[in-house]
Structure 1
Amino acid sequence: MMLDDFMTRAVLAGIGTGLAAAPAGCFVVWRRMAYFGDATAHAAILGVALSLALSLPVFAGALGVALAMAVTVTLLTGRGQAGDTLLGVMAHSALAFGLVGVSFLTDVRIDVMAYLFGDILAVSRGDLAVIWGGAALVLGLVGWRWSALLTATLSPDLARAAGIDPRQEQMILTLVLAVVVAVAIKVVGALLITALLIVPAAAARPFARTPEAMAGLAAVLAMGSAWAGLRASYALDTPAGPTIVCVLALCFAVASAVSGASRRA
């Protein structure tokens, strides 16, 4: 069957992850939340350690801890600590505790590098179901709250005047980011998830006239880069996750050059 081909599963996993990450990444770029995404992604390693220790699905552990981290940071920001300081402390602390926790799992064989940098070539049918189910959940949540999320991103005061609670929209976006992190950890790993979130959106931004166009173009770039990165990884015998991010970085460089040249013309 087609899904018995590991490269087919890898391509489908990359496309599904890119589809989930692109709309969430647009809000990360608009709200300047890159470090927030980083903290959530790093916390996923602690979730992996807990899920393995408790014999739970890795997706459940990564999602639970990433969501807990995101909610905690959201609630604590502005209460005596600068936002970037709090994010830095919590991100690296969670990553360190996760790596230490994994070292205690002597009865479980685990490749830490696979969770740090991804192991898309080892994606199973079950992983595909989780990735595409997560992508459907992300797209459903973002589509349902699109207008409210945009309004709250543009101006919290305008959102309140329109009867929208900005903190509620922040929590919904937090849930979306946690799902993306849990979905993407198998594909690009905890250390590269933020790149998958922000680089396609940043590359699409100069060419989009509307928020919807930016999200759509970011999705195309993310999915295309996943496919091209896997092809390049196979041809060059390089790590798949980092190679996908390298392709994304090249897309951003080209987009920046084209955008700069058109502004000078």
Structure 2
Amino acid sequence: MLDDFFLRALLAGVGVALIAGPLGCFIVWRRLAYFGDTMAHSALLGIALAALLDLNLILGVFVVAVGVALALTLLSRSEIVPTDSLLGILSHSTLALGLVLIAFMTWLRVDLTGLLFGDILAVSRLDLALIYGGGLAVIAALIAIWRPLLAGTVNLELAAAEGLAPERARLIFMLLMAAVIATAMKVVGILLITALLIIPAAAARRFAATPESMAVIAAGLGALAALLGLFGSLQFDTPSGPSIVVAALAVFLFSLTATRFRRTAPATDPG
């Protein structure tokens, strides 16, 4: 018989994976892995500012992640600094700023290990309601912008010419990314969120024939990784968040051997 806290952890891991999988497909298609890392690293700055201003932590993470995404979009358009350099600057500077601010707040007790690598075993019923309620909203919004976002991934100019408003879809996608990062932070931690977004989606490419099927398979593989990682963590007494990522890596490595299921690239890679 499983304990209540472990059942909550299982539900939380599966819930986050189901949300992250479809979003991760666009990260893979658009080659935005480092962009996702930058938004995730900014979460620590959001936590620090939320604690300093006495705000809700999830709200603080969401606001800062959105701010970083918008700043990156504006700065990349100016072409003052190459985009990859901007990503590196924002990624590491926001993480460092968050750590420094937390160090200055001597009255604040923060479990940095839990923030960086997750504390899924401490998930509460309220957290579960937030994960599944917010997850439904994120998936509904993603379905609503799926066509313009996919078209913009294939050809931005053509999508704009067809009146699909791909830039607006991209902005909404950034907001969804920020929401998922804020929600998933407690499950796998700031440093591992991007892995849960990318690895299941990368593995799903081997098995999917269409972009839509890839999104569904990525969600399923992410949920499988969450289950395997948590039971592995229970069995071998290893950290839960990293164990989920290791399980996702195992799923990805298995997908590399599944050559008979391989599809042609255009079917699952709109970009």
Do the two structures share a fold, i.e. TM-score over 0.5? yes
Q: Partner residue of 2:145?
A: 145
Q: Partner residue of 2:238?
A: 238
* Aligned counterparts of 1:205 and 1:74: Cα–Cα separation in 2: 28
Runs of 4+ with deviation above 2 angstroms:
259-263
Determine if the alignment matches structure 1 residue 24 to structure 2 residue 23: yes
For residues 1-265 of structure 1, what are the structure 2 equivalents within 5 Å? 5-79=4-78, 80-259=80-259
* Aligned counterparts of 2:72 and 2:109: Cα–Cα separation in 1: 32
* Aligned counterparts of 1:105 and 1:41: Cα–Cα separation in 2: 22
- Unpaired stretches in structure 1, ≥5 consecutive residues: none
Matched-pair contact (CA < 8 Å) for 1:3–1:9: no
- Unpaired stretches in structure 2, ≥5 consecutive residues: 264-271
Stretch deviating more after TM superposition (221-230 or 54-63): 54-63
1:177-205 Cα distance to aligned partner (Å, 9 max, x none):
11111011111111111100110000001
| Per-residue deviation, 1:3 | 11
1:84-122 Cα distance to aligned partner (Å, 9 max, x none):
100000010000000111112222211011110101001
* Aligned counterparts of 1:127 and 1:70: Cα–Cα separation in 2: 25
* Aligned counterparts of 1:242 and 1:16: Cα–Cα separation in 2: 17
Stretch deviating more after TM superposition (245-254 or 123-132): 123-132
Matched-pair contact (CA < 8 Å) for 2:115–2:190: yes
* Aligned counterparts of 2:257 and 2:192: Cα–Cα separation in 1: 24
1:136-183 Cα distance to aligned partner (Å, 9 max, x none):
121011011111111111111220121022221211111111111101
* Aligned counterparts of 2:162 and 2:259: Cα–Cα separation in 1: 35
| Per-residue deviation, 1:27 | 0.4
* Aligned counterparts of 2:143 and 2:56: Cα–Cα separation in 1: 27
Cα 1:261–1:155, aligned 2, differ >3 Å: closer, same or farther?
Answer: closer
Give the counterpart letter for 1:76 in structure 2: L
1:52-87 Cα distance to aligned partner (Å, 9 max, x none):
222222111111111111111122114211111000
User: What is the aligned residue count?
Assistant: 262
Q: Partner residue of 2:269?
A: none
SS of residue matched to 2:258: helix
Give the counterpart letter for 1:180 in structure 2: V
Matched-pair identity in %: 50
Tell me the TM-score normalized by structure 2: 0.93
* Aligned counterparts of 2:254 and 2:184: Cα–Cα separation in 1: 25
Q: RMSD over aligned Cα, in angstroms?
A: 1.7
